[in-house]
Amino acid sequence: MTEFKPYFTADGSTGLYNSDFNDIYHSATGALTEAYEKFIYPINFEMINKKNEIKILDICYGIGYNSKSFLNYILDKKFLKNYFSDNKTSFATIYTDNIFKNFLKKIHINNNTCNETIYTDNILRKISITAVDNDEKLFFLSPFIKTGQRKISVPKNLPINSKFYNNSKQISKRKINKLINFLIFEKISSEIIQNKGVLSILSNENFKDYFETDLRGYVLNLVKEHCTNPKLSNLHNIYYRYLSKCYKMQLKRTNLDKVYFNYKIDDARSVVRDDKNEYNLIFLDAFSPNKCPCLWSYEFFTELYRILEKDGMLLTYSTSAVVRSAMIEAGFIVGNVYNERLNKFTGTVAVKNSELIKYPLTEFDFGLLKTRAGIFYRDKNLNGQNEAIIELYNLEKKNSIRESSTQYIKNYTHNKDLP
């Protein structure tokens, strides 16, 4: 099993270091901040708000920051409440209590704005998240990941550039609402308790600060109870009652009980190829193109184009020309993601409806796509090995008569400097 180590990133959220790859999964600047800035802030919520169901595909879910940030954001913004209670669809989906319904009825009849049908649940509004990753261990650990640590020390022995930590003052401390972790935990708890690898990570005392105390304690007690100590069953019952009752009530009150969470532990290419759904939002958070080209190929983007709804948005952190040219070739309209805090473009949004593009590609960006840097990865049958995909790509680049990106940048800056 892959060795990994958790560490606190500069915004107090937990990041993971993978010793097999000698690489980090999350920016040391802040795992949660990164998720917000690259996947949540660029979303056109006006468009999303009009939908009766929001379908999200979270590709490379890992420990779930992108999906969790989405839920956290809308919970913070009281979006859930508005989303589930717009004029058309009814308050009844939130307030089932008759007295309240009658009260509403009166108001609406007096105002002459709506008729009684608004109180029926004929339009179901919901949020469905489909999470995909090929590493089941990360999946099962995802509901335990704690965020919002107050004191952050620079991690030792990790390949992390400590200069990030010098900037940590600018970064606000963020926290994922515990309820969101509980929601995910509820969906996958039975698989977690059967997974020995995950249980051994959870029971490692060195890692306990990184995990939600309640959920970790609950699972470890549950397992202990079944394996060794029958007396713990009382404790388990208390725990279970507390956990389920307290959290479930809160899920209901916040409408998070209308969030559906599905997961697929598999290669994202086969999941997407077999998917017949249409998504409003697709998050693509794969390792960088030169490490994991199979999730950035023209063929993969063609499949993503197929499953994106006409007003949907695909979001990713990559600004690379190799990615953008594959997206455009697959039919997408592509724009920049602007990061206010850093005052620069830090991602890409790919859509079918050009009205959703807030920051179009610049003249420079378009020029870059025509250079060798714009030659994209190919994975004809969506089952190639990364090494083979890279080999083919290098060959195509070598034989290309296109201008090199270095030359292009040189000419571009030179021409710009001319009076």
Determine, following the binding rule CB under 6 A, whether residue 268 of this chain makes contact with ligand SAM: yes
Determine, following the binding rule CB under 6 A, whether residue 287 of this chain makes contact with ligand SAM: yes
Residue of 338, 336, 322, 340 whose CA lies nearest to 389? 322
**Nearest-CB residue for ligand SAM:** 62
- The torsion angles phi and psi of 54, rounded to 5 degrees, stand at -105, 120
Give the alpha-carbon dihedral of 188, 189, 191, 193, to 10 degrees.
160
* Rounded (to 5) percent helix, strand, coil in the chain: 50, 15, 35
DSSP 154: P
- Pick the stretch among 130-138, 210-218, 220-228, 247-255 that binds ligand SAM (CB under 6 A): 130-138
State in angstroms the smallest separation of the CB of 272 from ligand SAM. 9
Gap between the Cα atoms of 314 and 138, Å rounded: 23
- 32, 48, 57, 60: which one binds ligand SAM (CB under 6 A): 60
Q: Which amino acid is at 265?
A: I
- Pick the stretch among 64-72, 83-91, 170-178, 220-228 that binds ligand SAM (CB under 6 A): 64-72
- 65, 84, 91, 261: which one binds ligand SAM (CB under 6 A): 65
Crossing angle (nearest 10°) for helices 232-253 and 178-192: 130
Determine, following the binding rule CB under 6 A, whether residue 24 of this chain makes contact with ligand SAM: no
Q: How many residues bind ligand SAM (CB under 6 A)?
A: 21
- 135, 225, 299, 303: which one binds ligand SAM (CB under 6 A): 135
Which two tokens mark 404?
């090199």
- Pick the stretch among 57-65, 159-167, 252-260, 356-364 that binds ligand SAM (CB under 6 A): 57-65
Give the alpha-carbon dihedral of 386, 269, 370, 360, to 10 degrees.
-130
Determine, following the binding rule CB under 6 A, whether residue 259 of this chain makes contact with ligand SAM: no
Gap between the Cα atoms of 300 and 286, Å rounded: 12
Q: For the segment 176-215, give every residue that binds ligand SAM (CB under 6 A).
A: none
HSE at residue 252, side-chain half, CA atoms within 13 A, is 8
What distance lies between CA 158 and its chain's CA centroid?
24
Determine, following the binding rule CB under 6 A, whether residue 133 of this chain makes contact with ligand SAM: yes
Determine, following the binding rule CB under 6 A, whether residue 286 of this chain makes contact with ligand SAM: yes
State in angstroms the smallest separation of the CB of 269 from ligand SAM. 6
- 285, 299, 303, 379: which one binds ligand SAM (CB under 6 A): 285
State in angstroms the smallest separation of the CB of 125 from ligand SAM. 26
Q: Which is nearer to ligand SAM, 58 or 225 (CB)?
A: 58
- 267, 311, 329, 365: which one binds ligand SAM (CB under 6 A): 267
Determine, following the binding rule CB under 6 A, whether residue 30 of this chain makes contact with ligand SAM: no
Determine, following the binding rule CB under 6 A, whether residue 134 of this chain makes contact with ligand SAM: yes
HSE at residue 169, side-chain half, CA atoms within 13 A, is 1
Q: Which is nearer to ligand SAM, 60 or 361 (CB)?
A: 60
Determine, following the binding rule CB under 6 A, whether residue 129 of this chain makes contact with ligand SAM: no
Q: Are 139 and 65 spatial neighbours (Cβ–Cβ below 8 Å)?
A: no
Gap between the Cα atoms of 337 and 358, Å rounded: 8
Helix (H, G, I), strand (E, B) or coil at 360: strand
Q: Edge-to-edge, what's the strand order for the sheet holding 23-24?
A: 4-8, 14-18, 23-24
Determine, following the binding rule CB under 6 A, whether residue 379 of this chain makes contact with ligand SAM: no
Q: Which is nearer to ligand SAM, 137 or 397 (CB)?
A: 137
Binding positions for ligand SAM, rule: CB under 6 A: 25, 60-66, 132-135, 138, 267-268, 285-287, 292, 294-295
